[in-house]
Amino acid sequence: MIILVLNAGSSSQKSCLYSLGKSIPDTTPEPLWEAHLDWTVAQEGGILTVKSNDLKQKIEVKERETALKVLLNTLVTGDTKVLENLNEIDVVGHRVVHGGSKYSQAIVITQEVKQAITDLIPLAPNHNPAHLEGINIIEEILPEIPQVAVFDTAFHTTIPDAAKIYPLPYEYYEKGIQRYGFHGTSHQYCANRTAQILQQPLESLKIVTCHLGNGCSLAAIKNGICVDTTMGFSPLEGLMMGTRCGSIDPQILIYMMQKYELDAGTVNKILNKESGLKGVSGISADMRTITNAIADGNTQAQLAFDIYLHRFKSSIGAMVASLNGIDVLVFTAGVGENSRIVREKTCAGLTYLGLQLDLAKNNGDPVDTNIAADDSPVKVLVIHTQEDWAIALSARSCIAD
């Protein structure tokens, strides 16, 4: 089975092509082809990077309207060609950030599903429109090929009411205001991979997964089920992130709007685009830039890092409380997988849990391995998240059922 995965963001498009037989391999295979379209690195247009056939090719893309078609064309033409025809694709799996409370698992995309994704645009304005764009283009080019939506929110639909419902008048919960949670595909993949690495039943483990990238979230997973998470009604709640503030006193928003006469659009931009590491440091949303600046003596970068760690460790404590204990702490995504100093400083503040880090293992560029000391009762894993592979498996399962 040939599976195309489209993982669209607000400023990028990641894509992979997998070929699967009847049995699922024990380890994640390399994709036949992968592409990354980035709109942030060029002054005009975007840069498409394609890898296949042991080659890596960069292509300038001028217009967003035709970008996905250019991307798909690299599957069947030129040095990156891996298919004779796009009709060889059996199913297309899409990552969809927000599925609301309606979808608890992957589903074949219909007009009803598309309408639900459209209706949820106000809750995911930077992502759901990009998902719809991809779905519509595939419909246009490959109208007979089934498409599957894999929702970031699905894994979190198991969260109990006490963690899900906000302490507002109950009527607002009935109108859809609740904790949805995000990064669910990554959290679920990492939980399953944790059980594989430790060779223990998933149902026997209390796991806190830490997805740390430009967006950051934690999940508390017990018996393979998510019981709590830090992101909420939107991806803005919870941890301090690259450009998002995370959880703050809601009265601050009312004060800002009244005191400084800011409208809702301006406040939204401040909270989502101008806060977090970028806002406090004044230099960057990228953890690598922050840590380099700290090494150069930048005190504001140090402050941003300190706030990030303080809020991160506090939130881990909240997840441990939801689990009534912890067996495994998992670091994943761009910062979690690559920042030794974030892992070291975080674990140094969690020794009250009995957690002990092996510094040599932590400093050795670990991947899918335990970096805790041998006598640590809490395991610490660094896992390379494979969201695209997880989407491929969900798409395969969805049309095979």
Residue 7, marked binder: yes
Residue 349, marked binder: no
pLDDT given for residue 257 in this prediction = 97
pLDDT given for residue 65 in this prediction = 78
CA dihedral 17→19→20→26, nearest 10 degrees, is -70
Q: Where are the alpha helices (DSSP H) in 126-250?
A: 128-141, 161-164, 170-174, 184-198
| 19 and 125 inside one domain | yes
pLDDT given for residue 26 in this prediction = 74
Distance of alpha carbon 203 from alpha carbon 226, whole angstroms: 12
| 38 and 146 inside one domain | yes
| 8 and 103 inside one domain | yes
Decide which of 124, 156, 188 is a domain's last residue. Answer: 156
pTM of the model: 0.91
Residue 99, marked binder: no
Residue 64, marked binder: no
Q: How many CB atoms lie within 10 A of CB 280?
A: 19
pLDDT one digit per residue (tens) for the chain, 401 residues: 999 999 887 667 889 999 988 778 777 888 999 999 887 666 677 889 999 999 999 998 888 778 888 999 999 999 999 999 999 999 999 999 888 888 888 999 999 999 999 998 888 877 888 899 899 999 999 999 999 999 999 999 999 999 999 999 999 999 999 999 999 999 999 999 999 999 999 999 999 999 999 899 999 999 999 999 999 998 899 999 999 999 999 999 999 999 999 999 999 999 999 999 999 999 999 999 999 999 999 999 999 999 999 999 999 999 999 999 999 999 999 999 999 999 999 999 999 999 999 999 999 989 999 999 999 999 999 999 999 999 999 999 888 76
| 105 and 248 inside one domain | no
Q: Which residues pair with 16 in a beta bridge?
A: 5, 34
Kindly name the residue from 54, 152, 296, 306 that is annotated as catalytic. Answer: 152
Residue 337, marked binder: yes
pLDDT given for residue 39 in this prediction = 77
DSSP string of 100-144, one letter each residue: TTT-SS-EE--HHHHHHHHHTGGGSTTTHHHHHHHHHHHHHH-TT
| 271 and 375 inside one domain | yes
Distance of alpha carbon 339 from alpha carbon 336, whole angstroms: 6
Q: Which residue range is the domain that position 348 belongs to?
A: 200-382
Q: Which residues pair with 13 in a beta bridge?
A: 8, 37
**CATH code of the domain in which 83 resides:** 3.30.420.40
pLDDT given for residue 66 in this prediction = 84
pLDDT given for residue 256 in this prediction = 96
152 is catalytic: yes
Residue 338, marked binder: yes
pLDDT given for residue 254 in this prediction = 97
| 130 and 224 inside one domain | no
Is 194 inside any structural domain? Answer: no
Residue 240, marked binder: no
